[in-house]
Amino acid sequence: MKGLRFLLSRAIQGLIVMFGVSLLVFFALFLTGDPAVLMMAPDSTAQEIAEFREAMGFNDPIIVQYGRFLAGALHGDLGNSLRYSRPAMDLLTERLGATALLALSALLWSSLLGFLLGAIAAVRRNSPIDFAIRVISLLGQAVPVFWLALMLIILFSLNLRWLPSSGYGSFEHLIMPSLALGAYYLSAITRLVRSSLIETLGENYIRTARAKGLTEWRIVVRHALRNAMIPVVTLQGMYLASLMGGALVTEIIFAWPGIGRLAVEAIQNRDFPVVQAVVLFAALVFVVANFLVDVAYTWLNPRIRL
């Protein structure tokens, strides 16, 4: 019951957050005063700008405009792309699959490897292996994703000629973007799992298990990992925003036809309806993912479930 009430309040908070993001995204265009001037090409005549302003409804009271924006957004209508004259939502959904493939593959390999490395480091703590894993995770967090991506291209595409330097469509195309994007995440998960496991391994029930003569690995797998998961799962949601940010840069470098590239191109082309759609969508993914994290948290932590 307590768990349900907790989840319900989190869901309401999520709705409030989405409402706030919609305000942010809508009013950002009015920061310079006139969204029509912002959206039109710099060499447009005053007449063209005035006609555009009228056509886009920028002459209406601002509250009416926001109401229209919100009502549209709730129906999945975020206006038309100025560049492609097509619904921004369509452009977004077309690119969704590519970004999901990239983000989920990066998440998958880095989580699995991160759990493994973190567990090894925790069990063999203060050993040379622990030190080596620590160095790897420090380096992984130290370099920007775009730099790592360029280094991978130099190594695997230019020197070794093993992998295509950009493009989309085959497993070979996925390897480098996924590696570049997952590296930071791998470091974060490894560090988290290590510290969380070390803490859990100091608990009384683990000592009991040890006293029963179980091997260290058995204790980790059977007893400690579940509890050590709690902080790891809680922080997954937080990392998601940075993962999406990283995906944006990765897609640019590898010419990956996803939402990140759509966003950067839209920003460069002053195609603001598309930019608004991407920001709203990213926030929605973040809010939904964090809600799922809360569900997982309730499930992992019986103290809240009751």
Partner 1 sequence: MIGSLKLKGNSDAALAIVLLVAAVLFCVLVPLLWPLDPLRGDISATFKPPMTVVGDTLHPLGTDQLGRDLLARLGLGTLVSFGIVLVAALISVVLGTALGMIAGYYGGWVDALIMRLVDIQLAVPFILLILLLVSVLGPSMTNLVIVLGLTGWAIFARVARGRTLEVRELEYIDASRAMGLSDMAIIFRHVLPNIIGPQTVLLTLDLPRLIILEASVGFLGLGVQPPMPTLGNLIGEGRSVILIANWLVLYPGLMIGALVIGCNLLGDWLVRRAESKVS
**Of residues 112 and 138, the one with the C-beta less far from partner 1:** 138
By the 8 A CB rule, do 180 and 148 touch?
yes
Looking at beta carbons, which pairs linking 256-263 to residues 24 or more positions away fall under 8 Å?
A: 256/98, 256/99, 256/102, 256/166, 256/168, 256/177, 257/95, 257/98, 257/168, 258/95, 258/96, 258/98, 258/99, 258/102, 259/92, 259/95, 259/96, 259/98, 259/99, 260/99, 261/95, 262/91, 262/92, 262/95
State the Rg of the chain over Cα: 24
Taking the C-alpha atoms of residue 252 and residue 284, their distance in angstroms, rounded to an integer, is 22
The answer to whether 242 contacts partner 1 (rule: CB under 8 A) is: yes
Q: Which of residues 26-65 bind partner 1 (CB under 8 A)?
A: 28-29, 31-32, 38
**Closest approach of Cβ 219 to partner 1, in Å?**
21
**Of residues 3 and 237, the one with the C-beta less far from partner 1:** 237
**Of residues 70 and 264, the one with the C-beta less far from partner 1:** 264
The answer to whether 106 contacts partner 1 (rule: CB under 8 A) is: no
Q: Which of residues 246-305 bind partner 1 (CB under 8 A)?
A: 248-249, 252-253, 263-264, 267-268, 270, 275, 278-279, 282-283, 286-287
**Of residues 209 and 273, the one with the C-beta less far from partner 1:** 273
**Of residues 130 and 305, the one with the C-beta less far from partner 1:** 130
Write the burial class of residue 59 (CB in 10 Å: 0-12 exposed, 13-18 middle, 19+ buried): exposed
Q: List residues near partner 1 by CB under 8 A.
A: 13, 16-18, 20-21, 24-25, 28-29, 31-32, 38, 126, 138-139, 141-147, 150-151, 153-154, 158, 238, 241-242, 244-245, 248-249, 252-253, 263-264, 267-268, 270, 275, 278-279, 282-283, 286-287
